[in-house]
């Protein structure tokens, strides 16, 4: 049985909080694209490497989902959310936070 799109988004947030690998949530395709804060990663290999680097250089993530809306139609889904995020930058030794980020 496939997980619902909403449970997949919520699982992704939880995996991020725990500092576990995120790349399994992305399609292993050359045309997959991930937009981050100040970055655009293209192709699965680049996405996976970028997420490994994120895991290596950050910790103590909090993800505050305030308004998750998920729509599923047949084999397609999309979502939006009002998200607050905070984490610790290991290299800089300081916390970073972003509030009201629309995903």
User: Digits of tens for pLDDT over the chain (103 positions)?
Assistant: 368 999 999 999 999 999 999 999 999 999 999 998 889 999 999 999 999 999 999 999 999 999 999 999 999 999 999 999 999 999 999 999 988 655 4
Cα 70 from Cα 47, distance rounded (Å): 23
Domains of the chain by start residue, with CATH: 5-102 (3.10.450.50)
CA dihedral of 9, 87, 90, 92, whole degrees rounded to 10: 130
What pTM value is reported for the model?
0.85
């Amino acid at each position: 049985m496939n997980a619902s799109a909403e449970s997949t988004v919520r699982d992704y947030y939880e995996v991020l909080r725990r500092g576990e690998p995120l790349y399994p949530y992305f399609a292993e395709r050359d045309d997959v694209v991930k937009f981050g804060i100040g970055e655009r990663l293209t192709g699965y290999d680049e996405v996976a490497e970028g997420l490994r680097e994120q895991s290596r250089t950050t910790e103590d993530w909090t993800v505050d989902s305030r308004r998750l809306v998920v729509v599923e139609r047949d084999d397609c889904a999309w979502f939006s959310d009002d998200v607050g995020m905070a984490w610790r930058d290991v290299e800089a030794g300081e916390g970073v936070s972003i509030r009201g980020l629309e995903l």
